[in-house]
Amino acid sequence: MSVVIGTEEIEVAYGDMSVVRGVSLEVRQGEAVAVIGPNGAGKTTLFKAIAGLLALRGGRILYEGARLDGLRHYEIVKRGVVYVPAERELFPQMSVLENLELGAYTNYGSRAERLKFVLGVFPRLEERKGQMAGTLSGGEQQMLAVGRGLMARPRILLLDEPSTGLAPLFVSEMYRQLTRLKGEGLTILIAEQQIPHALAFTERAYVLENGAIRLSGKSEDLLGNSEIQKTYLGMA
């Protein structure tokens, strides 16, 4: 499988403070890969750097072998790298349908086709498409955020903490739909604190601590790692 996204020794800083240091990772075509770690580990900073929302202090980011760092965010989206932030960043006074259509801003000609696809993935959004986004439940808002990302026809979807604030039922539903998307060939890089869900969903994972990769490997191996179990799963 070819590498879709690769980072090579990247460093990202806020002022004089390095938040991501020397991070190298790769995601291959059709894979789902997790980045796990505690709050403050640098997961969101890493994802924002890949998405072109933060500049690199060092290293480089490659997309299908070509340099991605240095491009503007909308140029990166046009290439098929789509970031869904943990904060969702919906427009609460706009309808579900309007929020979805905004997701197709780099691919507006095919918005009707993409809308049909997204509403097929998330039927609940079909039921709510005339409703204001701000009145949706947390789980429905997360579906809308992911659906808006899918409207851009991503080659790779960067999902930052998609289970944040969700009830267990919505978390299970979210991962069920993500598994469907992965089965249809979508490449996914996901940052997550719900470690069992993330490792069950992905093939490989990286453990990020204090801005650096501490462990990496097959997700099933990491799930069985005693240190991971003790640190992240509360198992003695």
Tell which residue, 195, 185, 194, 121, has the closest CA to residue 151. Answer: 121
pTM: 0.91
CB 42 within 8 A of CB 18: no
Kind and range of the H or E element at 140?
helix 138-150
- pLDDT category of residue 87 using cuts at 50, 70 and 90: confident
Assess whether pLDDT exceeds 70 at residue 21.
yes
pLDDT at 236 over 60: no
113 or 53, which is more confident: 53
Strand pairing class (58-63; 66-67): antiparallel
Quick check: 47 pLDDT over 60? yes
Percentage of the chain beyond pLDDT 70 is 97
Question: What residue ranges define each of the domains in the chain, with the CATH number in brackets?
Answer: 3-232 (3.40.50.300)
At 167, give phi and psi (nearest 5°): -65, 150
- Confidence band for 171, pLDDT divided at 50, 70 and 90: confident
pLDDT at site 231: 73
